[in-house]
Amino acid sequence: MKSLPIFFTMFITSIAVIGCAQNAKEAEMEDFITAHVEKIQPIAKEANLASWNAAISGKSEDYDKVSKLTLEIRQIYSNPQDFIFLKEMKESGRVKNPVLARQLDLLYNAYLENQIEPGLLKEIVDLGTEIEKNFSTFRGTIEGKKVTDNEIKEILKIETNSDKRKQAWLASKQVGTAVADDIIRLVKLRNKAARNLGFDNFHTLSLTTVEQDVKELDRIFEELYELTNEPFAKLKTELDRILAAKYDMAVKDLMPWHYHDPFFQETPMVYALDLDIYYEDKDIKKLATKFYYGIGLPVDSILANSDLYEREGKNPHAFCTDIDREGDVRILCNLKNNETWMETILHESGHAIYDKYHDPQLPYLLREPAHIFTTEAIAMFFGRLSRNPVWMQQMLELSEQQRAEIEKVSGKYAQLKQLIFARWAMVMYDFEKQLYATPDQNLNRLWWQTVEKYQFVNKPQGRNQPDWAAKIHFAIAPCYYHNYMLGELLASQLHHHIVHKILKLESDENVSYVGQKQAGDFLAKNVLEAGALYHWNEMIERATDEPLTPKYFVTEFVK
């Protein structure tokens, strides 16, 4: 995970605007940027530090400081005069210098999403907080007894009795009924704000401010749908056969509660694969350091600055943060020597090198990844290696036989994991788009139509409950989920390009990237150094000779 860019840390110390013959508009733009950066730079750094301190201390005074600074930053970006200035600048078409124009675009978008009328914004924030609170305090019940999310998850993972599974699944959906009306209210408030800004709904506004086009995303998701339809059907038939045998029932009677999590977004554990045994006597911090050093993108200084091990009061998850855009990049982990944390440290270090190795000549406003999903892609690209049998053999010094053992199931598992996630991401993208387009339609029915279309999961007969509302993302991370999928697509596209065009190999069969400086160099020059200098799709096209496409994800995981 990447800490979300709440702060939009936009600042500048040296303006590297190239070229001469600057027109008056460009000069004005430059002055605006200088003044803006002078204001935002110190607060952004302070806010990032406060947020870091809060995550490692867990103290409420640190969290209070974060809220205060976040609000200050929001106030800067909600200034209506500044927004009018940027809007006129954009519409004038006179800012032609590409580096300046790029900064104008990013600034315009950052201001645009903050131009919601203060009263309405307060309503939106308050209702969002209320829903989030309900999510975190609500407990579903099984036979009148309260159960936690973890207890529900555990039952869905191991229970073989269908009726008990059903009870657990139903309990996981109860929160949906409790929050659905509020979510619909929130959707309508968000739509109202978007319409005030001239957009047809909030979904379109959200995508526009992060430079994503609904039509283009539709095209990508449609293609992914077509390309995965058959292979997913095949894999799922096989999976269903295994599950039905386990529960001693007919395949046609399988219900949503027979998968291993409430939404069938994760891989049911049917292909046994315990990779932890290979990692338990290793030092995964050392492994990550050694690997990144070997590809010419060292992370020593990043890890030295980081907070890597469990401690009382510390945030139990993992993230990466760029404190100042001048090289102070840190990751937070809670490392244990197992496969999950190996993946995590590789993943977070992937975010970290993207932040660290931008071209220092770039203006500060452009010293960030091209998009939130492109940094996710780099993180995923490296995170995937913890389960790669060749990587494991080389890094962990395994025997041929051990490698063969891992290979037997790892490919199958990766395929299943990626296809299940892809089909689930399609549900999220499609449903959310329609939720904002027509919030008054029969959403309960729409949800099951969408689930049946993409996931091939049966709707329980007569079911008419807001099962969709049990997914917290609609409330607290709106119009964001699709980025996880785009990250996977780009990770595969980069992998394909490096294997075939950079390493000039026929296939990726024995590719582990261990010691492959060429791969590191390619990523540094074409992705990391560019920062946000180009629109994400231009960056991708420059790097791989074509815009973002689902083709290579399919080649990699559908065999």
Which residues are bridge partners to 322 per DSSP? 329
Footprint of Zn ion on residues 344-383 (CB under 5 A)?
Answer: 379
- Does 495 engage in binding with Zn ion (CB under 5 A)? no
Specify the residue, 288 or 379, whose C-beta has the smaller distance to Zn ion. 379
Report the distance separating Cα 271 and Cα 235, nearest Å: 12
What is the SS3 assignment for 114?
Answer: coil
Q: What is d(CA 32, CA 412) in angstroms, rounded to the nearest whole number? A: 54
> Closest distance between Zn ion and the C-beta of residue 346, in Å?
11
Return the range that interacts with Zn ion (CB under 5 A); candidates 2-10, 125-133, 281-289, 396-404: 2-10
- Comparing CB distances to Zn ion, the nearer of 4 and 27 is 4
Is 2 or 356 the residue whose CB approaches Zn ion more closely?
Answer: 2
Beta-sheet strands, E only, within 375-531? none
Site for Zn ion in 453-482 (CB under 5 A): none
Q: How far is the CB of 29 from Zn ion (least distance, A)?
A: 33
Q: Answer yes or no whether residue 2 interacts with Zn ion by CB under 5 A.
A: yes
3 state SS of 94: coil
232/382 with CB nearer Zn ion: 382
> Residue 300 CB, nearest distance to Zn ion (Å)?
21
| Closest separation in Å from C-beta 554 to Zn ion | 22
Q: Distance (Å, rounded) from C-alpha 548 to C-alpha 559?
A: 21
Segment lying near Zn ion (by CB under 5 A), choices 1-9, 338-346, 385-393, 541-549: 1-9
CB of 386 to Zn ion, least distance (A): 14
Nearest to 460 by CA among 447, 442, 469: 447
Take residue 224 and report the two structure tokens written for it: 């992914």
Print the binding letters for residues 376-415 with Zn ion: x by CB under 5 A, - otherwise. Answer: ---x------------------------------------
CA neighbor of 73 nearest in space, from 110, 119, 121 = 110
Element (H, E) at 67: helix 60-77
Q: Which of 1, 121, 396, 398 binds Zn ion (CB under 5 A)?
A: 1
Distance from the Cα of residue 423 to its chain's centroid: 16
From 360, 328, 531, 325, select the one nearest 16 (Cα to Cα): 360
When the beta carbons of 155 and 331 are compared against Zn ion, the nearer one is 331
> Least distance in Å: CB of 157 to Zn ion?
24
> How many beta carbons lie within 10 A of that of residue 17, not counting itself?
17
Q: Kindly tell me which of 51 and 450 has the beta carbon lying closer to Zn ion.
A: 51
Nearest residue (CB) to Zn ion, 349 versus 549: 349
Residues 224-243 touching Zn ion, rule: CB under 5 A, are none
**Residue linked to tokens 């993992």:** 318
Vertex 326: Cα angle to 321 and 327 (nearest 5): 60
CA pair distance 197, 211, nearest whole angstrom: 16
Taking the alpha carbons at both ends of the chain, their separation in whole angstroms is 28
Find the shortest distance in angstroms from Cβ 491 to Zn ion.
11
**Nearer to Zn ion (CB atom), residue 346 or residue 427:** 346
Shortest distance (Å) from residue 487 CB to Zn ion: 8
Nearest to 295 by CA among 518, 36, 72, 47: 518
Work out how close the CB of 358 gets to Zn ion at its nearest, in angstroms, rounded to a whole number: 17
Count of residues touching Zn ion (by CB under 5 A): 3
Of the pair 383, 550, the CB lying nearest Zn ion is at 383
Phi then psi for residue 508, to 5 deg, are -95, 15
Residues in the site for Zn ion, rule: CB under 5 A?
1-2, 379
